[in-house]
């Protein structure tokens, strides 16, 4: 594959788009690319599609006091990582995506049952910001397929629903979380961890995999364990994380498809916890056969 074409304006993107005659696969990112992003780009490259990656740190998904200003912006290094891996990289300007301004334009609202739970309960408005920017990105790129990581499982679930609800005609696909050798999920925010915190951080994944296998063992005849058992396990997870020095925000079992109450299999176990200046999230499938 040749070097990707760097598209800096919506007009350049439109010209690139018009010149394509095959399928377009899209990987939206906020940059600071790591192996997790690259695995999405590689997964997007199947079937001879033209792969386009966007890099845009979206202000509307950061709340007041969050890390928008210090979010790592590493465009030159990102472009080097993408060399030979995709057809084009779009670096939208804020006016391309929010012509009326990020606070003044039209907005979609994620339904409360999906957007105000789990991470949304701790980051009010976050998923509205994600939904708004992804919809706007889709309008410009008009891809056939878009790929998102399972690490942001709530985001992935919301974007699947968004694509369905607005009939955007984009197939939403997921790729598994990419992990460091010690199990820590790769994330741009891992760089906020001190050396000592970095040593502690894999305990999040270890805790989730242990709880998930206890939950899988507690289920009977294909039914999930009782709500009481799952609540007790989740509470023990919160305590265990606190014991390691995390400030856990939530540990919750949920229906893997809807993120509703965990009444039917398959289940997903999701958690968020602060460790020093970093807010870490992770999730695993609850299954007798798989530990991920
Ligand atoms: O997952 C991310 O990096 C962002 O939330 C996304 C989907 C690129 C929207 O800004």
- Active-site position among 25, 34, 37, 244: 37
Residue-wise pLDDT for 203-243, tens only, equals 999 999 999 999 999 987 777 899 999 999 999 999 999 99
Is residue 21 within 8 Å of 98, Cβ to Cβ?
Answer: no
Site to probe by mutation for ligand 1, drawn from 55, 133, 135, 175 as the one with most ligand atoms within 8 Å of Cβ, is: 133
Residues 121 and 260 in one domain: no
Is 227 part of a structural domain of the chain?
yes
Q: Which of 145, 175, 205 delimits the end of a domain?
A: 175
**Predicted TM-score (pTM) of this structure:** 0.96
Residues 36 and 159 in one domain: yes
Residue-range definition of the domain harbouring residue 217: 188-286
Residues 197 and 167 in one domain: no
Q: Kindly tell me the burial class for residue 40, based on how many C-beta atoms sit within 10 Å of its own C-beta (0-12, 13-18, 19 or more).
A: buried
Residues 95 and 22 in one domain: yes
Is the Cβ atom of 177 under 6 angstroms away from ligand 1?
no
Residues 38 and 89 in one domain: yes
Is 27 part of a structural domain of the chain?
yes
Residues 197 and 171 in one domain: no
Q: Which atom of ligand 1 is nearest to the CA of 149?
A: 1
Is 292 part of a structural domain of the chain?
no
Q: Which atom of ligand 1 is nearest to the CA of 130?
A: 9
Residues 148 and 277 in one domain: no
Is 180 part of a structural domain of the chain?
no
- In a structure prediction context, what are the per-residue pLDDT tens digits for the chain, which is 292 residues long? 678 999 999 999 999 999 999 999 999 999 999 999 999 999 999 778 999 999 999 999 999 999 999 999 999 999 999 999 999 999 999 999 999 999 999 999 999 999 999 999 999 999 999 999 999 999 999 999 999 999 999 999 999 999 999 999 999 999 999 999 999 999 999 999 999 999 999 999 999 999 999 999 998 777 789 999 999 999 999 999 999 999 999 999 999 999 999 998 899 999 999 999 999 999 999 986 544 4
Is 120 part of a structural domain of the chain?
yes
Residues 54 and 98 in one domain: yes
Is the Cβ atom of 57 under 6 angstroms away from ligand 1?
no
Instruction: Look at ligand 1, atom 1, and give the residue with the nearest C-alpha.
Output: 29
Q: Which of 143, 175, 207 delimits the end of a domain?
A: 175
Tokens representing 168 are 């955007």
Residues 224 and 91 in one domain: no
Is the Cβ atom of 53 under 6 angstroms away from ligand 1?
no
Instruction: Look at ligand 1, atom 5, and give the residue with the nearest C-alpha.
Output: 130
Residue 149 CA, ligand 1 centroid: distance in Å: 10
Residues 165 and 208 in one domain: no
Catalytic, 37? Answer yes
CATH assignment of the domain containing 207: 3.30.1300.10
Is the Cβ atom of 131 under 6 angstroms away from ligand 1?
no
Number of domains in the chain: 2
Residues 67 and 104 in one domain: yes
Site to probe by mutation for ligand 1, drawn from 38, 44, 63, 134 as the one with most ligand atoms within 8 Å of Cβ, is: 134
Q: Which of 120, 147, 175 delimits the end of a domain?
A: 175
Residues 279 and 220 in one domain: yes
Is 183 part of a structural domain of the chain?
no
Residue 29 CA, ligand 1 centroid: distance in Å: 5
Is the Cβ atom of 158 under 6 angstroms away from ligand 1?
no
């Amino acid at each position: 594959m040749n070097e990707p074409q760097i598209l800096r304006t919506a007009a350049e993107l439109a010209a690139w788009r018009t010149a394509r005659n095959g399928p377009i696969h899209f990987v939206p990112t906020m940059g600071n690319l790591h192996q997790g992003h690259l695995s999405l780009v590689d997964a997007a490259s199947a079937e001879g599609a033209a792969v386009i990656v966007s890099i845009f740190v979206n202000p509307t998904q950061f709340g007041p006091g969050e890390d928008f200003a210090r979010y790592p912006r590493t465009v030159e290094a990102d472009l080097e990582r993408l060399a030979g891996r995709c057809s084009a990289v779009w670096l939208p300007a804020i006016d391309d995506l929010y012509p009326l301004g990020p606070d003044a334009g039209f907005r979609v609202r994620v339904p409360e049952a999906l957007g105000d739970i789990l991470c949304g309960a701790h980051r009010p408005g976050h998923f509205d910001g994600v939904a708004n920017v992804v919809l706007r990105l889709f309008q410009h790129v008009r891809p056939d397929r878009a790929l998102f990581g399972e690490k942001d499982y709530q985001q992935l679930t919301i974007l699947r629903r968004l694509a369905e609800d607005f009939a955007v005609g984009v197939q939403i696909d997921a790729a598994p979380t990419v992990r460091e050798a010690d199990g820590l999920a790769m994330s741009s925010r891992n760089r906020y961890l001190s050396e000592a915190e970095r040593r502690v951080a894999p305990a999040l994944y270890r805790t989730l995999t242990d709880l998930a296998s206890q939950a899988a063992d507690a289920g009977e005849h294909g039914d999930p364990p009782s709500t009481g058992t799952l609540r007790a396990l989740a509470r023990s997870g919160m305590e265990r994380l606190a014991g390691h020095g995390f400030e856990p925000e939530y540990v919750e079992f949920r229906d893997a498809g809807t993120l509703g109450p965990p009444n039917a299999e398959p289940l997903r176990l999701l958690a968020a916890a602060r460790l020093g200046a970093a807010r870490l999230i992770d999730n695993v499938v609850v299954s007798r056969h798989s530990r991920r």
